[in-house]
Amino acid sequence: MPVRLRIQRFNPETDSAPQWREYTVEVEPTDRVLDALHAVKWHCDGSLAFRRSCAHGVCGSDAMMINGKNRLACKLLIKDVKQPIVVEPMRGFAVVKDLIVDQTKFFEKYRAVKPYLIAAEPPPKTERLQSPKQQERFEDTTKCILCGACTTSCPSFWANGEYVGPAAIVQAHRFLFDSRDQGAAERLPVLNEANGVWRCRTIFNCTDACPRGINVTKAIVEVQNLLVARAKDPRGSDAAQ
């Protein structure tokens, strides 16, 4: 079937402002929007720039705005979207070219929350044990693929690009609520700063945007609650139970 796409094009090295271009390509209704973008790039205009890798919703590289919402292009079927399909880069990041945005600061914030297991004891001979119930406590936030759809749909982030953002908080949550982790004392001060978790206004755009179905807002509120609990009892057990 013929499909019309309206794509925002911008090359900061040569263009003074973004401009819209329209393309019509032949795809199947069961193809994904990513297939349509490939058809544009391979058959209409090879200069179109976008990121993609896995094409199966697990690498997080092709998050972009499609018909006004942050989506993964590889997870959205052509038959489920209205035409013309309007495609733009995610908001709040500088555009490198077309649909590719600069994620340098996004990953700086990710690294700032120390997204790895911190444990004082040396590794045991086998694995660090954990009950299924303890694992359930942070199961939801392990699903994050760092696509950035949450952070770039957050009005608090649009208003203040220094806000640590929901994606970094989700990554922090994954370790703060892991019974094997002892890094809360290192991680929480970053989240308690002026641009930390308190910038969240529980707007829920992040939860709506998450292609992994993570309850992002709930994770943020749990980290806020943990900070409040620590303020009352600074010696609380390291791994949040």
**Residues in touch with ligand FES (CB under 6 A):** 52-55, 57-62, 72, 74
Binding residue (CB under 6 A) for ligand SF4 from 150, 164, 172, 227: 150
Per DSSP, the three-state class of 86 is strand
Select the binding partner of residue 167 from ligand SF4, ligand F3S, ligand FES, none (C-beta < 5 to 8 A, by kind).
ligand SF4
The distance of closest approach from Cβ of residue 141 to ligand SF4 in the complex, given in angstroms and rounded to an integer, is: 8
Nearest-CA neighbor of 61 among 170, 142, 148?
148
Chain centroid to CA 113: how far? 15
Chain centroid to CA 175: how far? 17
Select the binding partner of residue 103 from ligand SF4, ligand F3S, ligand FES, none (C-beta < 5 to 8 A, by kind).
none
> What kind and span of H or E run contains 21?
strand 19-26
The CA-based dihedral angle spanning residues 193, 202, 205, 133, taken in that order and rounded to the nearest 10 degrees: 90
From 9-17, 26-34, 204-212, 233-241, span contacting ligand F3S (CB under 6 A): 204-212
Regarding 92 and contact with ligand F3S (CB under 6 A), the answer is no
Cis check for the bond before 115: say yes or no (omega within 30 of 0): no
Which tokens go with 12? 């900061």
Binding residue (CB under 6 A) for ligand F3S from 145, 147, 200, 227: 200
Nearer of residues 75 and 212 to ligand SF4, judged by Cβ: 212
Which tokens go with 197? 């978790």
For binding to ligand F3S (CB under 6 A), which residues are involved?
154, 156, 166, 200-206, 216-217, 220
